C-alpha cells in the first residue's frame, strides 16, 4: 500500500527542544503523524503521513466507551555516523497484532507497520535527539472509531503513529527507583488481558500507583491475581532479580507483557557471563532471599524504562534497600551493553538493529 505524504506547511513546523536534558518522557511531539484507516468491507485504506494535529472524533466512538484499543512502544536512535536505527521493530509488529487479537482489532500487516514507521521516522529524522540517554520514542496505536453505543467490535479503525523525542522515563534518570509490592489491587488474571498492550491495563493500575506514590514509591510491582503470591511485572517494566551472577525473572504465563527488552536481557545476559532463569518467584521466598543477602540486585526492563535499577523494595511494610541505593554491576553492564547496541557504540551480534533509509 502506498502512503500519501501530505505537505507540511512551514507555519505548522514546531520549534525543536534545544536543551535535550529537559526532554523528559512523552511531552513533545514531532511535526507529522502516520494514519491508516480500516473500514469494514474495505480493509486497510487511506494511508497518509500528515501534519501532527488533534483528531476530530465523534463522542460516541467505541474507543471512548469500551476501550477497544491497543498501543506499542519502540525507539529510534541516531548513530554518530548519521544512520537512524530501530531496535527490534519486528517484535513490536508481532506483539501489536497479538494484543489486537485479544480485543478483536483487525491485524495490521507487518509490512505496513514497519514501512509506515520507517517512512515517518525518516521524514522526522531531524527530531531524533542525540544526547546520552535520549531517543525518539515511537507510539503506534490502534483505536475503534465507529460512533455507536452497543458493545461490539467497531466497523472503523484508525491505526496511527506519533513520535516523541524523549529522555529517561523516570525523572531521576538512570538511578534506582523505589518499588512497592502491591498486595491488594491486582493488574491481571489468567485469561484476562494482562499480556495485551491495551489501555485498560494501564487505567486500572493508576489507583495503586497513586497510593504508592503517597507512600514514597515510584511504581508498584504486581503479584499474580489468583493467589497474590507470585511476582508479575511493574506496569512499565518486567522485573529481574540478580542472585550474584544468576538472573531470575517471572515466566510469561499470559498475564504479563512479553517485553522486547525482557527478551533482549535474557539473550544478552549469557553473553556477559550470567545465567538466566524464567521461573515463578514467590514473594515470600524473595523477601527471605533479600533478607539473607542472596538477592544482590533488582532491575526492571522496558522500552521506555530501558534498564532501571531498583533501590528501595517494600512488601507488607518490610522495607529493604538493595545495592545500598547504588546501581549494581549486573544492572550497569546490561544497561551499557543494551544501549551500546541500540546506539551503535557496540557491535550488534544479534541482528537486532534495523536501519531507516
Closest by CA to 352, choosing from 269, 251, 260, 216, is: 260
Between residues 165 and 235, which has the closer beta carbon with respect to ligand COI?
A: 235
Widest distance between CA atoms in the chain: 63
Residue 308 Cβ, how far from ligand COI at the closest point, in Å? 11
Distance CA 197, CA 105 (A): 12
| Residue closer to ligand COI, measured from CB, 186 or 304 | 304
Sequence-ordered list of residues with C-beta below 8 angstroms from that of 247, at least 6 positions apart, any chain:
240, 241, 265, 269, 274, 275, 276, 277, 330
What cell was used for 168?
Answer: 529517561
- Closer residue to ligand COI (CB): 89 or 235: 235
Residue 272 grid cell: 556477559
Residues within the interface to ligand COI (CB under 6 A): 73, 235-236, 302-305
Nearer to ligand COI, 5 or 206 (CB): 206
The number of residues making up the chain comes to 357
- d(CA 148, CA 68) in angstroms, rounded, equals 13
The C-alpha atoms of residue 104 and residue 68 are separated, in whole angstroms, by 8
**Closest distance between ligand COI and the C-beta of residue 302, in Å?**
4
DSSP character string of 52-109: -------TTBHHHHH--EEE--EEEEE-TTS-EEEESHHHHHHHHHHHHHHTTPPPPP
Report the alpha-carbon distance of residue 353 to residue 349 in Å, rounded.
Answer: 10
Helix (H) or strand (E) holding 163: strand 156-166
Q: Which is nearer to ligand COI, 1 or 206 (CB)?
A: 206
Task: Give min distance, CB of 82 to ligand COI, in A.
Answer: 25
- Residue number, nearest CB to ligand COI: 73
To ligand COI, the closest distance from the beta carbon of 213 in angstroms equals 15
Rounded Cα distance, 149 and 174, in Å: 45
For ligand COI, give the closer residue by CB, 145 or 304: 304
Pick the closer one to ligand COI by CB: 119 or 301: 301
β-partners of residue 147 are 61
Amino acid at each position: 500500500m502506498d502512503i500519501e505524504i501530505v505537505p507540511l506547511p512551514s507555519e505548522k513546523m514546531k520549534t525543536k527542544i534545544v536543551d535535550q536534558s529537559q526532554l523528559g518522557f512523552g511531552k513533545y511531539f514531532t511535526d507529522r503523524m502516520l494514519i491508516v484507516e480500516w473500514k469494514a468491507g474495505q480493509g486497510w485504506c487511506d494511508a497518509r503521513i500528515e501534519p501532527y494535529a488533534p483528531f476530530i472524533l465523534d463522542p460516541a466512538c467505541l474507543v471512548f466507551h469500551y476501550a477497544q484499543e491497543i498501543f506499542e512502544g519502540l525507539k529510534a536512535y541516531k548513530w554518530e555516523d548519521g544512520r537512524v536505527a530501530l531496535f527490534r521493530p519486528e517484535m513490536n509488529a508481532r506483539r501489536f497484532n497479538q494484543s489486537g487479537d485479544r480485543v478483536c482489532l483487525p491485524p495490521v500487516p507487518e509490512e505496513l507497520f514497519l514501512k509506515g514507521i520507517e517512512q515517518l521516522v525518516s521524514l522526522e529524522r531531524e527530531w531524533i535527539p542525540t544526547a546520552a540517554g535520549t531517543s525518539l520514542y515511537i507510539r503506534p496505536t490502534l483505536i475503534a472509531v465507529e460512533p455507536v453505543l452497543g458493545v461490539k467490535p467497531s466497523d472503523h479503525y484508525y491505526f496511527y503513529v506519533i513520535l516523541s523525542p524523549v529522555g529517561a522515563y523516570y525523572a531521576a534518570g538512570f538511578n534506582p527507583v523505589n518499588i512497592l509490592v502491591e498486595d491488594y489491587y491486582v493488574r491481571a488474571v489468567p485469561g484476562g488481558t494482562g499480556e495485551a498492550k491495551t489501555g485498560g491495563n494501564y487505567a486500572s493500575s493508576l489507583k495503586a500507583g497513586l497510593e504508592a506514590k503517597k507512600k514514597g514509591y515510584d511504581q508498584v510491582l504486581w503479584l499474580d491475581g489468583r493467589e497474590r503470591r507470585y511476582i508479575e511485572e511493574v506496569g512499565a517494566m518486567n522485573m529481574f532479580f540478580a542472585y550474584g551472577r544468576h538472573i531470575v525473572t517471572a515466566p510469561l504465563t499470559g498475564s504479563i507483557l512479553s517485553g522486547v527488552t525482557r527478551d533482549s536481557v535474557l539473550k544478552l545476559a549469557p553473553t556477559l557471563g550470567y545465567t538466566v532463569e524464567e521461573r515463578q518467584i514467590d514473594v515470600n521466598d524473595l523477601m527471605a532471599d533479600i533478607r539473607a543477602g542472596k538477592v544482590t540486585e533488582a532491575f526492571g526492563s522496558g522500552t521506555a524504562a530501558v534498564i532501571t535499577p531498583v533501590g528501595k523494595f517494600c512488601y507488607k511494610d518490610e522495607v529493604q534497600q538493595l545495592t545500598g541505593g547504588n546501581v549494581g554491576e549486573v544492572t550497569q553492564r546490561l544497561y551499557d551493553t543494551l544501549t551500546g547496541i541500540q546506539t551503535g557504540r557496540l557491535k550488534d551480534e544479534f541482528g537486532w538493529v534495523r536501519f531507516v533509509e
